[in-house]
Amino acid sequence: MAKGWQGWRLGRSRGMRPLGWGWLPWLGALGVVAGALAWGAMDAAIAVPEAVAAGAAETLVTPWRAVVLGLVQGLTEFLPISSTAHLKVVPVLLGWGDPGSSFTAAIQLGSIVAVLGYFREDLLLLGRGSIAAIAGRRWRDRDLQISLGILAGTVPIVVGGLLIKALVADFDQSPLRSLAAIAAASIGMALLLGAAEIVGRRDRHEADLTLADGLWIGLAQMLALVPGVSRSGSTLTAGLLLGIDRASAARFSFLLGIPAITLAGLVELPAVFQAGDHVSISGAALGAGLVSALISSYATIALLLKFLKTQSTWVFVGYRLFFGAGLLLLLAQGTLADF
């Protein structure tokens, strides 16, 4: 690998290719998710009303269910389609109930291990370069600017998360976590991402990223506190609006998420086992979910970076619109109860 930050494994964007075979893996993956959602919706027409009629208040997360949820987490964390939304919607559609925000945050630690593993060499080079720049008082050094950008970009979402913990007594039951809110956020973010695809210049690359870019993208990351927005989606959208090419914006989004997702996961980890009568999960189930999330996240990172070198994000815009509209339809039909 080349020395310094310019050694990013994703390389520079070399322009768009005509629509080709590169779309097929993502169309297939999203098709699988969409098919699972459709199947779950049909099953939910029976499972959800029965659970409500029985007065079931507890969500049981078994090891097998945790593996499935870990797979959902890994496939959706780094795609701009919202892992939080899918971790709320998929188990509800399958009749399992909402696993809660604590489990959702904790299982993301598996994705963080995948990011650290995938970018381990780059992170070491970035850290060494930043330390050397500080020692040499080279405040405009590219490595240092990127590191400071990641730190500055983490502050908004940390502050926002602390405010939610302090001011919202039961976030799991908050209107922001309702299925209607998730549907609206999915559609709204799809429109913003589509707009960014149209107006974004994409003439800036990894060498051009600055502290200011990190702060602006970090402010966009704070929007992901609302389920359905998508941390990856909001940061990628901000990067495109700042004129950054898709692959570089996605890569910075991955690295920017390391501190915030790690902090959220560690803070919520104890609450997973103290969820009272709402969620029941064992250590074995959580471990199974983390391993599943790690493996699927690693594969998703590699495939997405390769995909965005030559393709646009329109396939994800379309999926978000389908996802949000489908949820609203199921709610309107009464197939799903908004809880």
Q: What is the pLDDT of residues 96-151, one digit of tens each?
A: 888 887 888 889 999 999 999 999 999 999 999 999 999 999 999 999 999 999 99
| pLDDT value of residue 267 | 84
| pLDDT value of residue 339 | 58
Rounded Cα–Cα distance for residues 43 and 96 (Å):
11
Rounded to an integer, the average pLDDT of 56-61 is: 68
pLDDT tens figures, 199-212? 999 999 988 999 99
Rounded Cα–Cα distance for residues 123 and 140 (Å):
19
Percent of residues, the chain, with pLDDT higher than 90: 61
- Asked if 267 and 105 touch (Cβ cutoff 8 Å), the reply is yes
Rounded Cα–Cα distance for residues 90 and 101 (Å):
14
Kindly provide the b/e burial profile for residues 145-167, where b requires at least 16 CB atoms within 10 angstroms of the residue's own CB.
bbbbbbebbbbbbeebbeeeeee
Kindly provide the b/e burial profile for residues 95-127, where b requires at least 16 CB atoms within 10 angstroms of the residue's own CB.
bbbbbbbbbbbbbbbbbbbbbeebbeebeebbe
Task: Report the DSSP beta bridge partners of residue 244.
Answer: 204
Q: Is the dihedral of CA 87, 93, 96, 101 positive or negative?
A: positive
- Asked if 33 and 75 touch (Cβ cutoff 8 Å), the reply is yes
Rounded to an integer, the average pLDDT of 159-177 is: 82
Its pTM stands at 0.80
The residue that leads in pLDDT, 101 or 289, is 289
Is the confidence at residue 159, as pLDDT, over 80?
yes
DSSP state of 80: T
- Cα separation values, 119 from 4, 7, 49, 122, 230, Å: 13, 11, 45, 5, 21
| Mean pLDDT lowest among 16-30, 84-98, 147-161, 186-200 | 16-30
Rounded to an integer, the average pLDDT of 307-328 is: 95
| pLDDT value of residue 264 | 87
- Asked if 295 and 303 touch (Cβ cutoff 8 Å), the reply is no
Q: What residue type is assigned to position 184 of the chain?
A: A
The DSSP string of 181-243 is: HHHHHHHHHHHHHHHHHHH----B-GGG--HHHHHHHHHHHHGGGSTTS-HHHHHHHHHHHTT
Residue matched to tokens 């709402």:
278
Q: For residue 66, give every residue at least 6 positions away whose Cβ sits within 8 Å of its Cβ, in sequence order, or none.
A: 107, 281, 285, 286, 288, 289, 292
| pLDDT value of residue 158 | 93
| pLDDT value of residue 95 | 86
Residue matched to tokens 């590169």:
22
Rounded Cα–Cα distance for residues 294 and 317 (Å):
25
Is the confidence at residue 76, as pLDDT, over 90?
yes
- In this structure, how many other beta carbons lie within 10 angstroms of the beta carbon of residue 195? 14
H helix intervals, the chain: 24-54, 63-77, 83-93, 100-118, 120-135, 142-167, 179-199, 211-222, 231-241, 246-272, 283-308, 314-333
Q: How confident is the model at residue 276 (pLDDT cuts 50, 70, 90)?
A: low
Q: How confident is the model at residue 50 (pLDDT cuts 50, 70, 90)?
A: very low
pLDDT tens figures, 191-241? 999 999 999 999 999 889 999 999 999 999 999 999 899 999 999 999 999
